[in-house]
């Protein structure tokens, strides 16, 4: 890997310094408030959407702390509320808007409360206008390209009293060196690239996340190394299409090279990544995974549809043959690999035959797990304008058939794990079943077992004695 800073796509240090200066001003004001009242001001960050948004929210939390706010888990006692929104489906937008609606009464109770809305939804002009006109108690909005401007927005709002609607940046740049407050002490997200150039015809992401840009390999390797030194055990590299990593960098480095470099770091940890686009998933990447020391044998490879015609209109640029070829190669190199996927049901023009094609692919590939979605038209995308939209009742009937088939397949896939002893990274008491602890296997499957508080964040070995479509259940071994 060639050394050298990738200067073109990085936000300048002076811009970051300017934000640090704004943050210091707010911090001084928050310190003064605490000295006067004995109360530290608090910030609440609410996140919708994908892991990229989760990662961005950890930066929002980090910046909030830098500005002298303590973090709170409840909006009722917050002085600053940040809602990080998603635009992938209508449901995600509706949920965010409904929650923002509920904050009206908090603002009525506490007029000094600051409410900011950010992320993918408000990167769209029509949603920004909607917030402006229909949610007058929202103090500021900022899109995905302006995340780093949070301190400036708060400062300007406080100084001038006027609501702030931050315009999108003209250039998509990577902002390095922002403070991050991670939620977990053992699992971490690390963004390796931002944006997407693929323009799948149904998808809003390229419009709200901008063009692809990659972080410099040195910055990523240094961040991962630091995490491992701190004891992080499960690290997921993030990007909308990680296989495009490095394409826009001056260095000759691709995603497989980056993985090789990270894999050299010593330690007891697993490395994961998402998401891979089948059109770019290379045999080189799979070879690197198979021979690596730390890369989990787990692959998320969104298929979207099992019909070549639908894939063509989706602008996915692969067909089912190519997709199945990748799966076969992966299973040849890593027989134990867990494969998961995304499927969209009811894309415009999807016929019964097309949908049967998707079911057929499910039977052939046998995914360990599936994230399935009913197609949701997104304003501004080509598919939303297509005339042959599938009626809602057809979409939901197909969705139910897809889920029923996948449940059978996942149960069948999990059965061979019964009797096996697996290493599980424990996440603590299960949110769904408080009598049990839960964790994730190397294949990222959920395992339930009877644990103790000090298992949290540690590897435990679990002998699996039962499995269903969604999880594994077993007994923890006393000592590894």
List residues binding ligand SAH (CB under 6 A): 88-89, 202-203, 205, 240-241, 275, 277, 302, 304, 342, 344, 373, 375-376, 378
Say what the alpha-carbon torsion angle 458, 463, 467, 471 is, to the nearest 10 degrees: 0
Question: Which of ligand SF4, ligand SAH, ligand F3S, none lies near 80, with the C-beta cut-off 5 to 8 A by kind?
Answer: none
Question: Which of ligand SF4, ligand F3S, ligand SAH, none lies near 53, with the C-beta cut-off 5 to 8 A by kind?
Answer: ligand F3S
Out of 23, 97, 200, 311, which residue is the one contacting ligand SF4 (CB under 6 A)? 200
Cα separation, 222 vs 243, whole angstroms = 20
The contact pattern for ligand F3S, residues 49-78, with x = CB under 6 A and - = no contact, is xx-xx-------------------------
Smallest gap from Cβ 1 to ligand F3S, in A, equals 28
Cα separation, 402 vs 382, whole angstroms = 25
Out of 47, 124, 236, 240, which residue is the one contacting ligand SF4 (CB under 6 A)? 240
Phi/psi for 145 (5° steps) reads -80, -10
Q: Is residue 305 within 8 Å of 274, Cβ to Cβ?
A: no
The reply on whether position 88 binds ligand F3S by CB under 6 A is yes
Applying the rule CB under 6 A, the residues between 113 and 172 that interact with ligand F3S are: 120
What is the b/e burial string over 162-192, where b = at least 16 CB atoms within 10 angstroms of the residue's CB?
A: eebbbebbeebbbbeebbbbbeeebbbbbbb
Question: Which of ligand SAH, ligand SF4, ligand F3S, none lies near 199, with the C-beta cut-off 5 to 8 A by kind?
Answer: ligand SF4
Q: What is the CA radius of gyration of the chain?
A: 23
Question: Which of ligand SF4, ligand F3S, ligand SAH, none lies near 103, with the C-beta cut-off 5 to 8 A by kind?
Answer: none
Looking at beta carbons only, is 209 or 316 nearer to ligand F3S?
209
Cα separation, 31 vs 163, whole angstroms = 24
**Binding region for ligand F3S (CB under 6 A) out of 83-91, 260-268, 406-414, 437-445:** 83-91
Query: CA 397, 399, 402 angle in degrees (round to 5)?
Result: 115
Looking at beta carbons only, is 44 or 202 nearer to ligand SF4?
202
Looking at beta carbons only, is 88 or 330 nearer to ligand SAH?
88
The helix, strand and coil proportions of the chain, stated in percent and rounded to the nearest 5, come to 40, 20, 40
Q: How many positions of this chain bind ligand SF4 (CB under 6 A)? A: 10
The structure tokens listed for 290 are: 């198979």
The reply on whether position 296 binds ligand F3S by CB under 6 A is no
Half-sphere exposure (Cβ direction) of 405: Cα atoms closer than 13 Å: 21
**Binding region for ligand F3S (CB under 6 A) out of 176-184, 204-212, 289-297, 387-395:** 204-212
Out of 114, 118, 205, 310, which residue is the one contacting ligand SF4 (CB under 6 A)? 205
Q: Facing residues of 194 across strands?
A: 213
Question: Which of ligand SAH, ligand F3S, ligand SF4, none lies near 344, with the C-beta cut-off 5 to 8 A by kind?
Answer: ligand SAH
Beta strand pairing call for 193-194 and 213-214: antiparallel
Out of 108, 199, 328, 364, which residue is the one contacting ligand SF4 (CB under 6 A)? 199
Closest CA to 224 of 169, 275, 261, 173: 261
Beta strand pairing call for 446-449 and 471-476: parallel
Full DSSP string of 248-287? TSSS---HHHHHHHHHTS-SS-EEEEE---TTT--HHHHH
Binding footprint of ligand F3S on the chain (CB under 6 A): 49-50, 52-53, 86-88, 120, 204-205, 208-209
Interacting residues with ligand SF4 (CB under 6 A): 196, 198-200, 203, 205-206, 240-241, 277
């Amino acid at each position: 890997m060639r050394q050298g800073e990738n200067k073109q796509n990085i936000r300048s240090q002076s811009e970051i310094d300017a934000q640090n200066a704004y943050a210091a001003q707010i911090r001084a004001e928050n310190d003064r408030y605490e000295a006067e009242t004995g109360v530290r001001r608090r910030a609440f960050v609410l996140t919708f959407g994908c892991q990229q948004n989760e990662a961005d929210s950890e930066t929002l939390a980090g910046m909030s702390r830098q500005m002298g706010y303590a973090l709170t888990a409840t909006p009722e006692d917050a002085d600053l509320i940040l809602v990080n929104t998603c635009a992938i489906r209508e449901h995600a937008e509706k949920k965010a808007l409904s929650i923002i609606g509920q904050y009206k009464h908090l603002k009525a109770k506490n007029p000094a409360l600051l409410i900011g809305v950010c992320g993918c939804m408000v990167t769209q002009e029509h949603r920004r206008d909607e917030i402006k006109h229909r949610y007058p108690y929202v103090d500021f909005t900022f899109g995905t390209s302006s995340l780093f401007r949070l301190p400036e927005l708060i400062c300007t709002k406080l100084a001038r009293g006027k609501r702030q609607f931050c315009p999108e940046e003209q250039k998509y740049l990577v902002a390095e060196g922002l403070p991050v407050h991670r939620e977990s002490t053992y699992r971490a997200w690390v963004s390796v690239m931002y944006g997407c150039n693929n323009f799948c015809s149904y998808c809003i992401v390229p419009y709200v996340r901008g063009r692809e840009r990659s972080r410099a390999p040195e910055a990523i390797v240094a961040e991962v190394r630091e995490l491992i030194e701190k004891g992080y055990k499960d690290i997921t590299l993030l990007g909308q299409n990680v296989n495009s990593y490095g394409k826009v960098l001056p260095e000759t480095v691709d995603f497989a090279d980056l993985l090789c470099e990270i894999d050299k770091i010593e330690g007891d940890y697993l490395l994961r990544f998402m998401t891979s686009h089948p059109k770019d998933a290379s045999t080189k990447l799979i070879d690197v995974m198979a021979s690596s020391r730390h890369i989990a044998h787990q692959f998320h490879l969104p298929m979207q549809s099992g019909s070549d015609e639908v894939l063509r209109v989706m602008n996915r640029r692969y067909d089912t043959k190519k997709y199945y070829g990748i799966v076969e190669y992966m299973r040849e190199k890593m027989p134990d690999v867990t494969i998961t996927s995304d499927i969209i049901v009811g894309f415009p023009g999807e016929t019964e035959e097309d949908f049967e094609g998707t079911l057929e692919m499910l039977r052939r590939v046998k995914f360990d797990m599936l994230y399935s979605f009913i197609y949701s038209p997104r304003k501004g995308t080509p598919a939303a304008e297509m005339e042959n939209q599938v009626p809602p009742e057809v979409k939901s009937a197909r969705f139910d058939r897809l889920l029923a088939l996948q449940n059978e397949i996942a149960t069948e896939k999990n059965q061979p794990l019964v009797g096996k002893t697996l290493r599980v990274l424990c996440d603590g008491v299960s949110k769904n079943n408080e009598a049990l602890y839960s964790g994730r296997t190397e294949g990222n499957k959920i395992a339930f077992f009877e644990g103790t508080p000090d298992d949290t964040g540690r590897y435990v070995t679990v002998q699996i004695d039962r499995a269903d479509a969604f999880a594994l259940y077993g007994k923890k071994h006393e000592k590894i």
